[in-house]
Copies of this chain bind each other. A is one copy, B any other.
Amino acid sequence: MNDIHQPLIEPAASLRSRRDVLKLFGLGLALPAAASIITACSNAASATTAAQMADMSSASATATAGVDWQAMDRMHMDGIKAFPAKTAAYGNQPLQPHLENGVKVFELTAKVIQWEVTPGKMAEAWAYNNQVPGPEIRVTEGDKVRVVVHNQLPESTAVHWHGVMVPNNMDGVPGLTQDPITPGSTFTYEFTVKNPGSHMYHAHYNSTIQVGKGMLGAFIIEPKDRSKDPAYDHDYTLILNDQLGGFTLNGKSFPATQPLTATVGEKIRIRYMNEGQMIHPMHLHGLPQLTFAKDGWNLPQPYMNDTVNIAPGERWDVIVDCTDPGIWAFHCHILGHAESEQGMFGMVTALIVK
């Protein structure tokens, strides 16, 4: 196991130009259309024009009586060629703490921003540190952690450390464990992390709205003794959502989602986290998933599967053994969350194994 601090955003950042993709992967796959994935790493997703959409709409009305299938094919292919489409900012970026007397101190500022979900499609987000998902907090079992939360929103808020075992008065439920953090004010959470695993943090006040608008992030506690976890070469987090900006993976919709990458023979860990209101059964093509942890707790008996159903609030951790090269489609299998007559969208990405 190496390089476990390589979040999804790192390889994706490297994939934002055709040159970088060629440099990194040089896939040379003998696939009819595979090359196209790297021909349009630009804002080209907007190639799907309103006029084309209108085309498709009228086409579908007469589906069996003379559909313009060539227009449909162009639209579908254009969407895939645009993947991974560049957008202005990325969420789930590692948050660096500073140390104060042995305490790791993190700062979160909640405020209203504009968030680019796909190229050119903006949504009003309520975000931590200008990101959706909020920045990744990653600490180690036994760490003393302090999180200073600044509320720059127009309403009160609070932060719950979902899955992290904290003293009750640090649990983040206004009315039960603290007062609301009013607009303009600050609240400091402090606790020692004791249960390792894949956890989350999110707003726990007016939460249907606040979490829906983006106030959520990953809270990962590395175990002191890493030998209890299976070995892996890359560590990816996929935060699923179905509210702000529609169906998203780490705050982006296809083709702006970021691919996961690996080399043949490597193993990757994927930490699924569902911050939405619907289930999302994530299906990875070609390579089975070994499910080994639920809500941060290792299972007594890991099991194999290819479609991992994640319910709201759940986290599931899997290992994928990247035995076969290729561009493997990876998507929610509620098909309406992944594809329309205009092509793939929403909760779709790919695992690229070179």
Interface residues of A (CB under 8 A from B): 29-34, 36-37, 60, 63-67, 69, 72-73, 76-77, 79-81, 112, 124, 154-156, 160, 162-163, 165-169, 171, 173-180, 182-183, 195, 204-209, 211-212, 277-279, 281, 283, 285-288, 294-297, 299-307, 309, 311-314, 324-329, 333-336, 338-341, 350
Contacts and interface: CB of A to CB of B under 8 A. Distances in A.
Nearest to A59: B155
Nearest to A300: B301
Contacts of A285: 160, 171, 173
A288 B165 contact: yes
Given A33-B179, A155-B69, A327-B168, A307 B314 contact: yes
Given A64-B124, A313-B281, A336-B208, A33 B175 contact: yes
Residue from A163, A174, A206 with most neighbouring chain B CB atoms (10 Å): A206
User: Which of A77, A178, A212, A333 has the largest number of chain B CB atoms within 10 A?
Assistant: A333
A281 B312 contact: yes
A11 B40 CA distance: 54
Contacts of A112: 64
Given A162-B283, A165-B286, A206-B341, A77 B297 contact: no
Nearest to A333: B313
B309 A311 contact: yes
Contacts of A324: 165, 167-168
Nearest to A112: B64
B80 A176 contact: yes
A163 B296 CA distance: 26
